[in-house]
Structure 1
Amino acid sequence: MVSQGTTSATPATDAPGVVERDRPGAGERIAAVAEQTWRPLALLVACFAAWWAISAFKLVAEYLVPSPGATFEVLTGKWGYIWQHTWVTTYETLLGFAIAVAVGVFAAVIMVYSTTVERTLYPILLFAQVIPKIAIAPLFVVWMGFGIGPKIVVAVLIAFFPVVISMVAGLKAVDPEMLQLSATMGAGPMATFVKIRLPASLPHLFSGLKVAVTLAVTGAVVGEFVGANEGLGYVILQANGNLDTPMLFAGLLVMSAIGVALFVVVEVAERLLLPWHASRRDGAVTTAY
């Protein structure tokens, strides 16, 4: 017989078949990071080794594929010039990505809460997505000139679709029973969105953001290809016209580095903002039968 005020429920970690794991220490975390990164690093080293072998054994003419040494000599010797254009492309990418996220999330929310808007807007989004952006980029140059505007617009158009699609999928993936429970408890539409729909959609949204942020780099460079006097796209076009393949390869490497860095930033933001998600747990409590 249990006296009043005494809790008779068995703690979750004392229940049969439930094992509580210790939180990983610093050494275990470093080992986990090493386990996740050694494969891509090994592949990257292999790619650079193949690049070096191709240039060292003269398998391809040097004006077609420069050596890693010549490329890195350009990176270090003309770093001021490259950095100036890198900053321009990075600024265009970040601004275009931010606009794409804001507009994409807003459009997704409207589409989820309004069937009419979804049926009207969704086909237009698909139509706009399949149009090659390089084909319509010259129109933006004609309409907006050779300034920063066309590059941002192209970046927005390319990054917008993954954001809106992932956000719509996340908002629709909410458990209907949770929505019914919130309605039963008297929660209004805004409270339901903030407390249930939005948190549940964030894992899907971040998946789209990681795709969108890399596409935004491509969009900015595509806009620079069409008409610009600065930016990495301009550097690559100038190097291509002058057959300066070391500078061309340097521009491509820096452009890739921007995409990887922004991807990592979004990945870190996801880890910080979604520690509760199943994909981010280290397994504090698991079942063992």
Structure 2
Amino acid sequence: MLRRALTALWPPALVVTALIGGWQLYTSAAGVDPATLPSPARVLGQGWENRAELWDHTLPTLQETVLGFGLSFIAAWLVAVLLDFSAAARRGLYPLLVASQTIPIVAVAPLLIIWFGFGLLPKLLVVTLTTFFPLAANLAAGFAATDREAMRLLRSLGAGRLRTFRLVRVPSAMPYFFAGLRVSITYAVVGAVFAEYAGAESGLGIYMQAQKSAFRTDLVFAAVAVTALLSIALFGATYLLQRLVLPWERALKKEGRA
């Protein structure tokens, strides 16, 4: 497992190292004003020096991300199950779900702040709206892709619709679900930060705005780096969750390689 992880990680790590190295060389050789483009070393140093303040603003963003994504998770399962069980709901709701993705969050977020204030709720709603569709759409596609022969077999053995759904449709939809989960989780932190831009009292979005106004570009980059690290950590956590929820996948892959 460790060898496979290292094999998968070293190419992007090499590219990132090369980019950061080129960035450092350029800023050092060209003598660029740090207020315009700080060097990676300065970003790292100032980020570490201001780590307590960064952490204080990271916690609200992380809270908004986790709670908002939790709401998105629940809503996606409810809607996907409804679409699977009801053809009328699928015909009536699915086109509306697709159309909802044409509404820019940049226009909705300020309205949510006006309606619900500067508290936690509008941030949760922005994260939910940002992450809901990939989860629901992939889960619904996974239900629809269930092997029909397995469905017929269970029905021939007397299994009802609910039992068939639990034993066949849900397990077969899991790979689709985790694909949607990985897409959604990368949007979640960005959605929380954007919601803070629209209006908040604390969080990485507010911190970036304050440092931008103070011409502390190095701290803006530090906050962006923290946002990226949060997204990467949550993205990686989906693989760990998949291994826990779908332990049989590893056995099937080993059999396929054998």
User: How far apart are residue 124 of structure 1 and its match?
Assistant: 1.5
- State the match for 1:89 in structure 2: 61
- What are the equivalent positions in structure 2 for 1:232-247 lying under 5 Å apart? 232-247=204-219
Q: Hey, what's the Cα distance between the residues in 1 that align with 2:230 and 2:90? A: 34
Tell me the number of residue pairs that the alignment of Structure 1 and Structure 2 aligns.
Answer: 258
- State the match for 2:246 in structure 1: 274
* Structure 1 runs, 4 residues or longer, greater than 4 Å off: none
**Structure 1: unaligned runs, 5 residues or longer:** 1-28
- State the match for 1:72 in structure 2: 44
Q: Hey, what's the Cα distance between the residues in 1 that align with 2:111 and 2:141? A: 32
1:189 paired to 2:161: yes
- The one-character-per-residue Cα deviations of 1:56-78 (angstroms, maximum 9, x if unpaired) are 12274422211112111221111
User: How far apart are residue 241 of structure 1 and its match?
Assistant: 1.6
CA contact (8 A) 1:89 1:221 kept: yes
**Aligned CA-pair RMSD:** 1.5
Identity of paired residues, percent?
33
Cα separation, partners in 2 of 1:218 and 1:180, compared to 1, 3 Å: same
Cα separation, partners in 2 of 1:254 and 1:179, compared to 1, 3 Å: same
- What are the equivalent positions in structure 2 for 1:194-273 lying under 5 Å apart? 194-273=166-245
> Residue type of the partner of 2:75?
V
CA contact (8 A) 2:34 2:218 kept: no
Q: Hey, what's the Cα distance between the residues in 1 that align with 2:111 and 2:218? A: 32
- State the match for 1:57 in structure 2: 29
- State the match for 1:11 in structure 2: none
- State the match for 1:179 in structure 2: 151
Max Rg structure: 1
CA contact (8 A) 1:166 1:205 kept: yes
User: How far apart are residue 84 of structure 1 and its match?
Assistant: 0.7
CA contact (8 A) 1:170 1:205 kept: yes
- Is the helix fraction higher in 1 or 2? 2
3-state DSSP of counterpart to 1:130: coil
Normalization by structure 2: what TM-score?
Answer: 0.95
Moved more, 200-209 or 48-57: 48-57
CA contact (8 A) 1:275 1:281 kept: no
Normalization by structure 1: what TM-score?
Answer: 0.85
